[in-house]
Amino acid sequence: MSAPRILIIVQNLPVPLDRRVWLECQALTAAGYTVSVICPRGPQDSVHEVLDDVEIFRYAPAPQASGLAGYALEFVYSWLRTAALSVTVRRSRGFDVIQACNPPDTYWLLALVWRVLARTRFVFDHHDLNPELFLSRFGEPDGASARAQYAGLLWLERRTFAAADRVISTNASYRRIALERGQVPPEHASVVRSGPDTARMRPVVPAVDHTDGRHLLVYLGIMGPQDDVHVVLEVVSELVQVRGRSDVRAALLGFGDCLDDLRTRCTAMGLDDVVEFTGRVGPDQIADYLSAASVGLCPDRKTPLNDLSTMNKTMEYMAYAVPAVSFDLVETRVSGGDTCVYVPSGDIAAMADEVERLLDDTDERVARSLAARRRVATELDWRAQAEVYVGVFDDLTRRPSSRRAPAAPARVPGDTDAEGRAYVPLDDEGLARFVASRGGAPHADV
């Protein structure tokens, strides 16, 4: 009997840049599944490649959307390109199960087409809450057009839940919405958190000094309208221009619709000498910057979407033993526990206060760093999530237990990473010494 074949559809990010989806792909292939992916093409990506036994089919992304008509065009274009590539995948490798990752909530229709044509099953990987995104950006709809758009998002979400044989939610808040708003049977809804693979995501001795002898503040993630990345600039301005600190700089890692506006705003605020925008970054750059960082910033303000969403950057900071300062959000508290520092949403001065306190109190910074690394490795690591994730497909395909393989990649051996950088010792003494040295002190004794 051949291994079950899975087709994963992603529109929001290219693969393997989408860390959650790439970990899912690796978990499935490690467990013996045949995996194909359809996604948009990134700037340096090829149209087609096989990477770590995952066959990836990519299409040119739609032009950047603006306004309702632009977004509708983007969704239609991406849907049609994905549908055409699904025929290619069907002829090349075939598939027994389609997994669609939102946003948007539109691929239920393609899943139903293939259910009719080939009796395929459908798994919905629930990444975002599109109705809550609408409310977060535009508020409660108060006009006919806005009400129609909001109702349309709720309808698409309901159709997605109704079409799904199984739903995978990124946290308990999302699962609750699947059960209550989507009427998904509890036995068909599972929580698979986007935990990092902490064997690979761990502090290294940076190959490049990104601190310039100063404490490095970092932001890692997408830079869209709902991500409030401008808050990072305001915090840096408060620290440097208002409070006169000369020992602080910031690096903003990532890309998105607001990147150009943020760069313009940074220049207008006179912060170009202390703020760096890296643009799109890969795992090696992430490891270098987060290993050098003294504090991670979570600027997402309390909105209907942010409050219920798991912020991957929080757990990625934790994996690199970086203490985070965050606005107080429900699901961020679930991830960070008592290792993060929480301040009232939108309070720039309070966030700057807590950043400054961590920079000046080495003992607390070290204690929170060690606690963060310990928590993410023992409670949030991807390996445990991978077991749940692969179990969904084992159950759906009724795969015999005798044919099942481990649901997670093997741990990485050795004292260095793939780029030859030395891993920092994870014992309390070695890691504490490394964390205390951040901010310009040498790493020679690590």
Same domain as 386, residue 372: no
Same domain as 37, residue 184: yes
Is 442 or 241 the better-scoring residue by pLDDT? 241
- Average pLDDT, rounded, for the chain: 92
In the structure, what pLDDT confidence band is assigned to residue 291 with cuts at 50, 70 and 90?
very high
Same domain as 394, residue 348: no
What average pLDDT does this structure show over 289-306? 96
- The CA-based diameter of the chain, rounded to the nearest angstrom, is 68
**Does residue 310 form part of some domain?**
yes
Same domain as 155, residue 295: no
Total domains in the fold of the chain: 2
Q: Which residues of 360-384 are buried (b: 16+ CB within 10 A; e: fewer)?
A: eebeebbebbbbbbbbbbeebbbbb
Residue 128's contacts (CB-CB under 8 Å, 6 or more residues apart) are 12, 102, 103, 305, 309
**Does residue 441 form part of some domain?**
no
For residue 443, the model assigns a pLDDT of 42
Residue 162's contacts (CB-CB under 8 Å, 6 or more residues apart) are 108, 182, 183
**Does residue 426 form part of some domain?**
no
Q: Which of 18-22, 257-261, 366-370, 415-419 has the lowest mean pLDDT?
A: 415-419
**Does residue 60 form part of some domain?**
yes
For residue 446, the model assigns a pLDDT of 42
Same domain as 250, residue 144: no
Nearest to 367 by CA among 404, 331, 341, 395: 341
For residue 402, the model assigns a pLDDT of 45
CA gap 70, 351 in Å, rounded: 36
Q: Are 23 and 197 in contact (CB under 8 A)?
A: yes
CA gap 329, 341 in Å, rounded: 11
Same domain as 149, residue 23: yes
Range of the structural domain that residue 148 is part of: 5-195+381-403
Indicate which CATH number applies to the domain containing 134.
3.40.50.2000
Same domain as 232, residue 167: no
For residue 377, the model assigns a pLDDT of 96
Q: Which of 78-82, 180-184, 417-421 has the lowest mean pLDDT?
A: 417-421
CA angle 114, 119, 124 (to 5 degrees): 65
**Does residue 424 form part of some domain?**
no
Q: Is the pLDDT of residue 442 over 50?
A: no
Q: Are 66 and 77 in contact (CB under 8 A)?
A: no
Nearest to 391 by CA among 54, 36, 24: 24
Over residues 27-58, the pLDDT tens digits come to 999 999 999 999 999 888 999 999 999 999 99
For residue 406, the model assigns a pLDDT of 60
Helix or strand holding residue 212 (H, E): none
What average pLDDT does this structure show over 269-287? 94
**Does residue 131 form part of some domain?**
yes
Over residues 172-204, the pLDDT tens digits come to 999 999 999 999 999 999 999 999 999 989 999
Q: Is the pLDDT of residue 337 over 80?
A: yes
In the structure, what pLDDT confidence band is assigned to residue 74 with cuts at 50, 70 and 90?
confident
Q: Is the pLDDT of residue 123 over 90?
A: yes
For residue 36, the model assigns a pLDDT of 98
Nearest to 203 by CA among 403, 43, 408, 437: 437
What average pLDDT does this structure show over 286-298? 96
Same domain as 146, residue 55: yes
Same domain as 261, residue 307: yes
Q: Which of 91-100, 183-192, 365-374, 393-402 has the lowest mean pLDDT?
A: 393-402
For residue 259, the model assigns a pLDDT of 95
Is 349 or 64 the better-scoring residue by pLDDT? 349
Q: Are 312 and 194 in contact (CB under 8 A)?
A: yes
Helices 230-237 & 348-360 angle (0-180, nearest 10): 60
**Does residue 425 form part of some domain?**
no
**Other Cβ atoms within 10 Å of 310 Cβ, number:** 23
DSSP 250: E
Q: Is the pLDDT of residue 441 over 60?
A: no
- Percent of the chain past pLDDT 90, that is, above it, reads 83
Question: Please, is 183 exposed, middle or buried when counting C-beta atoms within 10 Å of its C-beta (0-12, 13-18, 19+)?
Answer: exposed
State which of 337, 360, 377 marks the end of a domain: 377
Same domain as 188, residue 220: no
Q: Is the pLDDT of residue 68 over 80?
A: no
pTM metric for this prediction: 0.90
Q: Is the pLDDT of residue 407 over 70?
A: no
**Does residue 325 form part of some domain?**
yes
For residue 282, the model assigns a pLDDT of 87
- Percent of the chain past pLDDT 70, that is, above it, reads 94
Same domain as 312, residue 394: no
Put residue 7 in one of left, alpha, beta given phi > 0 → left and psi -120 to 50 → alpha.
beta
What average pLDDT does this structure show over 247-251? 96
Q: Is the pLDDT of residue 258 over 90?
A: yes
Same domain as 265, residue 284: yes
For residue 83, the model assigns a pLDDT of 98
Nearest to 366 by CA among 312, 430, 446, 442: 430
Over residues 359-375, the pLDDT tens digits come to 999 999 999 999 999 99
